[in-house]
Structure 1
Amino acid sequence: MIEELPLIPIETKETHSPEETESLGAYVGETYPDTQVIALLGELGAGKTAFVRGLARQRQTVDQVSSPTYAIVNEYRGKRPICHFDMYRITDSDSLYDIGWEDYLSSGGLCVVEWSENILDALPEGTLFVRIEKTGEQSRRITLLKKEGEGC
């Protein structure tokens, strides 16, 4: 479980609309350009896809962002490609072999993972964790975290 990971907060921001959450995604893409994997933490409807839309805008992707719930992974082409994963139906990291996880990690693109709690042991060193919490109907508290002892 995610509670067992020694995560250290890097910064916390508040947003008050989906557009602000999207803008924060763009900010993260700009501020952490060398990050290979972003692990999103948040309940259903927290704003994870809005956050990814902002990342995609910052990366100048040409594809429309949508939740990869049924596809498991959506790929967005652009300046630096984004592979957007939904690991909700993945029960353990052994299942990642079937979807080509290692190939995606070595592709040079940015891997953004929803429901990353299901594959914690497969996330590489340097993963940036983003916790999105609902604080109101449209308000969110978004915390950027890293594993203890790792840089970002």
Structure 2
Amino acid sequence: MLEFKTTSPEETFAFGQCLAKVLSAGQVVCLVGDLGAGKTLLVQGMAAGLDIQDAINSPTFTILNVYEASFPVYHFDLYRLEDAAELYDIGFYEYTEGDGLSIIEWPDKFPDQLPDEYLWIEINSDFVNNGGKVNERVIRISALGTAYEHICEELKQICPFLP
């Protein structure tokens, strides 16, 4: 497991840009963290790193947003889903097994439905007393599968946010 630390929203965004440099089509990234931990901010940084020009918002109500980069990017938010059967309705399996990059927020709701291999990212944030703003985020990354282990090794080489 890798651990990174960011101390501002700008750094979390920049970390997402670093992460985007080591990702490619056909991969799956799972993002876990409490509401407000910075999952969507991280995705916004990833999108910037992939040169996506669209505004990136959490797909909480739409469940899935699709963005075009040099390959398609599928941004899922499973928070509002109640049953794993709903994953069929949104084409979850076709997307995650397809030719794009799948980014899944709240994957822990349906862990048995995830592909066999993926990158697991957990974001924990600490809040300070000045208006409840996030001061620090700890980003823990685990690889499930050889391809994702290589991603972790590459990330260690290019990302400056190691503690």
TM-score (norm 1): 0.85
Query: How far did 1:13 drift?
Result: 0.7
- Unaligned 5+ runs, structure 1: 1-8
The structure whose Rg is larger is 2
> Which of 120, 140, 143 is 2:140 aligned to?
143
> What SS does the corresponding residue of 1:56 show, helix, strand or coil?
helix
**Structure 1: distance between partners of 2:74 and 2:22:** 19
| 2:122 paired with 1:125 | no
Query: How far did 1:143 drift?
Result: 0.7
> Which of 13, 17, 33 is 2:4 aligned to?
13
Identity level (%): 36
**Structure 2: distance between partners of 1:126 and 1:23:** 25
> What SS does the corresponding residue of 1:140 show, helix, strand or coil?
strand
What residue identity is the alignment partner of 2:101? L
> Which of 97, 113, 116 is 2:88 aligned to?
97
Match of 1:3 in 2: none
Q: Pairwise CA RMSD of aligned residues?
A: 1.5
Deviations 1:2-31 (A, max 9, x none): xxxxxxx1x111101111111111111213
Given that residues 59 and 81 in structure 1 are in contact (C-alpha distance below 8 angstroms), is that contact kept between their aligned partners in structure 2?
Answer: no
Moved over 6 A (4+): none
* Alpha-carbon distance change, 58 to 77 in structure 1, aligned in 2, over 3 angstroms: same
**Structure 2: distance between partners of 1:138 and 1:76:** 30
Match of 1:114 in 2: 105
